Structure 1
Amino acid sequence: MSEPTTLRAGVIGLGAMGRNHARVLSQLPGVHLVGTSDPLVEDQHLSHGAPIHKTVEELVAQGIDYAVVACPTGLHEEVGLLLADAGICALIEKPLAHSVEAAKRLVEAFESRNLVAGVGHIERYNPALQSLRSRLTAGELGDVYQVVTRRQGPFPARIADVGVVKDLATHDIDLTAWVTGADYVSVSARTSRRSGREHEDMVVVVGELSNGTVVNHLVNWLSPLKERSTVVTGDRGCFVADTLTADLTFYANGAVSSEWETIRNFRGVSEGDMTRFAIPRREPLLVEHERFRDAVLGEGNDIVTLRQGLRTVEVSSAVLRSADDGSTVPTPLGS
């Protein structure tokens, strides 16, 4: 029997997210964290003992099978193209790139070389959303009418090169399309800048999906309350997913008849049973890395593809265009 393959991995960028990637990779079965790269970090405690190189080229020279790209968004294209040219697979943090054009170039670079590449939309691996998607796919909610997400909290000092749309709202755009299995066809948005920074720090989005579902996203960096909520309403009730606690709750439409004439004639819904599901709670980042490792080994394909990441960049760019001119912006399928 042959020995199991051990993949050689690297991490590019040792900010808050890069350090988490290094932590998981340093303990991931079947993977050896060969090294990291960051021009500003020297403390190997932050790389969990892995050598730190000043440049990406130095890391690549160590011989790696894949790399996690966790540097600032504006550098994703440059670093990704370098990895593709070197024949190295890549897990690129979200958003895939700073622009639609850059995202398209990354898709072409990796696809043309048949390299495994994915985008780090970590919410797909949250236990509550995994369970929600399975239940929607099984038809437990019936027809889906509406998806509402709320993602708000204080400003994270680590973010400097993008606004709240590309940093946070991309989570909601990706997870909404993923859990419903439908794509965005139009968006209308409003943004504001209340904290004196260059980029927007609040956005409200109203959109429509290809199956007619109406969506709404409220996202900001201006609230002392940290909230991560996804509510999906359909003809049998609604699901509420809290991704901070990984809780999923179902509120069923009531089926109790009433003798009160006024209420009986109202053709709506009433309050029914509430069910809070018991869900195994595994760390989403660990699950994401397990899935990507397996994909590199050719043993699975449960990753967020670059094309899916491109689509999220397209929709987020449409959100910003809508906010700029106050119009409803179509997002043609397959664009």
Structure 2
Amino acid sequence: MKIIQIGTGGWGKNHTRILSQLGVLSAICDTDLKKSKEYGEKYSVNYYDSLDELLKSEEFDGAFVVTPTSTHTQITKKLLEAKKHVFVEKPMTYKSEDGEVLAKLAEKNKVILTCGYIERFNPAVDVVKKLVKEKKFGDLVMLEFHRENRMPLHIKDVGIIYDTSVHDIDTANWLFDDMPHVVFARAGKIRHEHEDFASIMLGYKDDKVAIISSNWITPKKLRKFNAVCTDAIISSDFISQEITVEKDEENETIQNEKQEPLLLEIKSFLGAIEGKNEHIVKAQEAVNVTKIAEAALLSSLKGIPIYLDLK
């Protein structure tokens, strides 16, 4: 299998490392030729500063698009038109209507289009998903997410909702196995040109709720979530991948093997290309996350709940 990568920025370098480790990386493309050359030489693959040039010169099966959000639509469209399987880093597009167009194009050309919602592949989330599905601790009624960190300097084109909160929006949808019908949010900015702190409430059927708190203000990196069930609270840390269960009389620690989520995510995409029945984020699910993020920004702007009808 041959895989190309477009974009080698702050997060993209991790994709390059893993794709090279797996022996599938065949070419690199970055508009910064110096960076493209650096990674091309480091991993002994062809390198380009033009996607058109790469498409003319290379034969490949799939592509990773790890570029700024504002460029995703144009790049992904070219790759889908060339009938290539595409993995786009989150969020899939800045506007949900662009995502709808890409999802339809992928379906028409019978290729895979997926999006990098990495927490789906976090072993801790996988364990919590199984516990919830089995109703081991009763019914899941509420999810609480907390993500805090200093503002990343390389994120310029979007605020914290599109960059950070989207992870928890997708994870909430995944754990509830449902889409919210109402969104209410408050957000503001202190140091960034877009919002750098936000609190989002997602309402699901049967009064189930997800509360998502994200900020780029606090100095400490924190990524945790709680799954509130009728018989216990399951708490987990996205970073350490530790899971604890608080019940009436006792606390229980659930043991699980720590693994790199990005490696698992990339392997799933490669397996899907090979026709294996792998779990991947469906294109429409990624479009829905963007619709929810749009609704959160609109809710914060207008100070009202936004009602959605997501498929």
Task: Provide the rounded CA distance (Å) in 2 between the counterparts of 1:201 and 1:191.
Answer: 8
Aligned match of 1:26 in 20, 30, 37?
20
Query: What is the aligned partner in structure 2 of residue 39 from structure 1?
Result: 31
**Length-normalised TM-score, structure 1:** 0.89
* Structure 1 pair 140–160 and aligned structure 2 pair: CA distance change class (3 A): same
Q: CA deviation at 1:48?
A: 3.1
Query: What is the aligned partner in structure 2 of residue 319 from structure 1?
Result: 296
**Is this contact kept in 1: 2:288–2:310, CA < 8 A?**
no
Q: CA deviation at 1:207?
A: 1.9
Task: Provide the rounded CA distance (Å) in 2 between the counterparts of 1:26 and 1:222.
Answer: 35
Query: What is the aligned partner in structure 2 of residue 13 from structure 1?
Result: 7
State the SS of the aligned residue for 1:184.
coil
**Is this contact kept in 2: 1:11–1:67, CA < 8 A?**
yes
Aligned match of 1:187 in 173, 183, 189?
183
* Structure 1 pair 50–205 and aligned structure 2 pair: CA distance change class (3 A): same
* Structure 1 pair 233–92 and aligned structure 2 pair: CA distance change class (3 A): same
* Structure 1 pair 171–160 and aligned structure 2 pair: CA distance change class (3 A): same
Task: Provide the rounded CA distance (Å) in 2 between the counterparts of 1:126 and 1:321.
Answer: 30
Query: What is the aligned partner in structure 2 of residue 298 from structure 1?
Result: 275
Query: What is the aligned partner in structure 1 of residue 121 from structure 2?
Result: 125
Task: Provide the rounded CA distance (Å) in 1 between the counterparts of 2:30 and 2:157.
Answer: 17
Q: CA deviation at 1:164?
A: 0.3
The CA RMSD over aligned residues, in Å, is 1.3
Query: What is the aligned partner in structure 2 of residue 288 from structure 1?
Result: 265
Query: What is the aligned partner in structure 2 of residue 93 from structure 1?
Result: 89
Query: What is the aligned partner in structure 2 of residue 332 from structure 1?
Result: 309
Percentage identity across paired residues of the two chains: 26
Query: What is the aligned partner in structure 2 of residue 105 from structure 1?
Result: 101
Aligned match of 1:48 in 43, 49, 53?
43
Task: Provide the rounded CA distance (Å) in 1 between the counterparts of 2:211 and 2:137.
Answer: 19
Query: What is the aligned partner in structure 2 of residue 244 from structure 1?
Result: 239
Query: What is the aligned partner in structure 2 of residue 178 from structure 1?
Result: 174
**Is this contact kept in 1: 2:48–2:54, CA < 8 A?**
yes
Asked if residue 205 in structure 1 is aligned to residue 200 in structure 2, the reply is: yes
Q: CA deviation at 1:46?
A: 8.1
Residues 261-300 of structure 1 show CA distances to partners (whole Å, capped at 9, x for unaligned) of xxxxxxxxxxx21111110111101101111111001012
State the SS of the aligned residue for 1:91.
strand
Task: Provide the rounded CA distance (Å) in 2 between the counterparts of 1:75 and 1:155.
Answer: 21
**Is this contact kept in 1: 2:40–2:46, CA < 8 A?**
no
Query: What is the aligned partner in structure 2 of residue 216 from structure 1?
Result: 211
State the SS of the aligned residue for 1:25.
helix
Aligned match of 2:138 in 139, 142, 151?
142
Q: CA deviation at 1:301?
A: 3.3
Q: CA deviation at 1:116?
A: 1.1
Query: What is the aligned partner in structure 1 of residue 162 from structure 2?
Result: 166
Task: Provide the rounded CA distance (Å) in 2 between the counterparts of 1:59 and 1:152.
Answer: 38
State the SS of the aligned residue for 1:323.
helix
**Is this contact kept in 1: 2:187–2:196, CA < 8 A?**
yes
Task: Provide the rounded CA distance (Å) in 2 between the counterparts of 1:211 and 1:68.
Answer: 38
In structure 1, runs of 5+ residues without a counterpart are 1-6, 255-271
Letter in 1 for 2:110: N
**Is this contact kept in 1: 2:150–2:217, CA < 8 A?**
yes
Task: Provide the rounded CA distance (Å) in 2 between the counterparts of 1:157 and 1:47.
Answer: 25
State the SS of the aligned residue for 2:172.
helix
Task: Provide the rounded CA distance (Å) in 1 between the counterparts of 2:41 and 2:204.
Answer: 42
